Homo-oligomer: A and B are copies of this chain.
């Protein structure tokens, strides 16, 4: 549109349509979700432009009630048609300035989002170096009060750091308080962390977190269902919360007052059938009242440490024995057939290269750096440990001093 940097961007019609639909419809609009479940995105967009009801009629589960709802939805979406950018601008917003678009079916699309059914995001804008799909294969959502106490911030940071050291990615909402403490704990552990925003990935909200989001993008990924430039709004935070809940293998609440928005995320996690956990605190603290309530009502498990959380989640992901904290004990390097570094298989060599020259790294970080999937990285780490190239450490894995 501006023409200053003619974008050389090609998006398939369906990807472009998904992005355009995110401009027209608010994320979480189940009317659009229902249409996208039965029609191609480009057809839906064309129908909206033509003011025709798409994908209805016999065989589409059409009923007078759903037809009326679709008609209202069509009106809703068409009100934003005049403001819809040109295709080139949309394409540029999906592939410029370090931002990329992820759509259902992409390698990077987290399959966990498909659990949201008709409320599944139409598409996601991503900004950052980590692979969202891979990170979410072993992830914990940590959310809580913005008005966190010193205690809550400390605990959120410690738990996130230890989870990060043990190879788990941390998902949160980028807000002040518990969210920020969780992101920072993960960053300190050099782990992958994912900030799910209720505004465009280029829109620094809260403004004081612009640097934090840059740091997250450098080491993890900033995620949004809203197109770049979109501002946050009250309802958007609530809509966004379902994505936070879906992206974690489980959700941990660290401090929540009785009316905290974190309890909304908690409800989404429970609705998705995912493990919901809460960290207790002093009963004299109003900021722990929400956590205590969901524990008391048996909605949430009481967790006090990263170990508690991993114990609850591990049956859902990979066996404990394969986690860096547990043993992958490959044969000891005494059989004489330890290969030279140059003789390693390609995956193992890649994984070995991905280990930092000093200090340690978590499994997820190594996998992202090496560009291999989780099963492969775990197999290679076990093999490399068996050959004596690497060893386990507090933070995950490190090069062994030979």
Binding site for B on A (CB under 8 A): 151, 154-155, 279-284, 288-289, 292, 295-296, 298, 301-305, 308
Q: How far is the CA of A283 from the CA of B279 in the complex (A)?
A: 8
Residues of B within 8 A of A296 (CB): 301-304, 308
- Indicate if the CB atoms of A304 and B283 lie closer than 8 Å: yes
Residue in contact with A302 in the complex, picked from B151, B154, B280, B305, CB distance below 8 Å: B280
A203 CB to closest chain B CB (Å) equals 35
Beta-carbon nearest neighbor of A296 in chain B? B302
Q: How far is the CA of A284 from the CA of B289 in the complex (A)?
A: 17
The main secondary structure of chain A at its interface with chain B is mixed
Q: How far is the CA of A279 from the CA of B283 in the complex (A)?
A: 8
Q: How far is the CA of A362 from the CA of B296 in the complex (A)?
A: 27
- Indicate if the CB atoms of B281 and A282 lie closer than 8 Å: yes
Residues of B within 8 A of A305 (CB): 283
A352 CB to closest chain B CB (Å) equals 37
- Indicate if the CB atoms of A151 and B301 lie closer than 8 Å: no
* A-B interface, 8 closest residue pairs, ranked by CB to CB distance from nearest: A280-B280, A283-B304, A295-B302, A296-B302, A292-B304, A282-B282, A292-B302, A155-B283
Q: How far is the CA of A279 from the CA of B280 in the complex (A)?
A: 9
Residues of B within 8 A of A298 (CB): 298
Residues of B within 8 A of A284 (CB): 151, 154-155
Q: How far is the CA of A25 from the CA of B295 in the complex (A)?
A: 44
Q: How far is the CA of A279 from the CA of B301 in the complex (A)?
A: 15
A313 CB to closest chain B CB (Å) equals 14
Beta-carbon nearest neighbor of A304 in chain B? B283
A162 CB to closest chain B CB (Å) equals 12
Residue in contact with A280 in the complex, picked from B154, B155, B292, B308, CB distance below 8 Å: B292
- Indicate if the CB atoms of A151 and B304 lie closer than 8 Å: no
Residue in contact with A151 in the complex, picked from B155, B280, B282, B292, CB distance below 8 Å: B282
A254 CB to closest chain B CB (Å) equals 9
Q: How far is the CA of A279 from the CA of B292 in the complex (A)?
A: 9
A263 CB to closest chain B CB (Å) equals 15
A-B contact pairs, 7 of them (CB 8 A): A155-B283, A155-B284, A280-B283, A282-B282, A283-B304, A289-B304, A292-B302
Residues of B within 8 A of A283 (CB): 155, 279-281, 304-305
Beta-carbon nearest neighbor of A149 in chain B? B282
A32 CB to closest chain B CB (Å) equals 41
